[in-house]
Amino acid sequence: MRQTRHGKDSRKFFDWLEIAARDLLAANLLIKEEQCYDIAGFHCQQCIEKSLKAYIIDRTGLLVDGHNLTWLCRQAMKHNPVFGQWVEKTAQMNRLYIETRYPSDIDLKFDEGKILEIYETAREIYNFVCSEIYNGDGSLDDDD
- pLDDT tens-place string over residues 5-52: 444 445 688 999 999 999 999 999 999 999 999 999 999 999 999 999
Task: Write down the pLDDT at residue 10.
Answer: 56
Task: Write down the pLDDT at residue 89.
Answer: 95
Q: Are 27 and 43 in contact (CB under 8 A)?
A: yes
Domain map of the chain by residue range? 12-133
46: part of which helix (H) or strand (E)?
A: helix 37-60
Q: Are 101 and 42 in contact (CB under 8 A)?
A: yes
Give the Cα-Cα-Cα angle 74, 83, 53 (nearest 5 degrees): 65
Residue 80 reports pLDDT greater than 60? yes
Please, how many CA atoms are within 13 Å of residue 53, restricted to the half-sphere of its CB?
Answer: 21
Q: Is the pTM of this model over 0.75?
A: yes
Task: Write down the pLDDT at residue 134.
Answer: 85
Task: Write down the pLDDT at residue 6.
Answer: 44
Q: What is the CATH number of domain 12-133?
A: 1.20.120.330
Nearest CA to 52 out of 67, 34, 39, 31 is that of 67
Average pLDDT over the chain reads 85
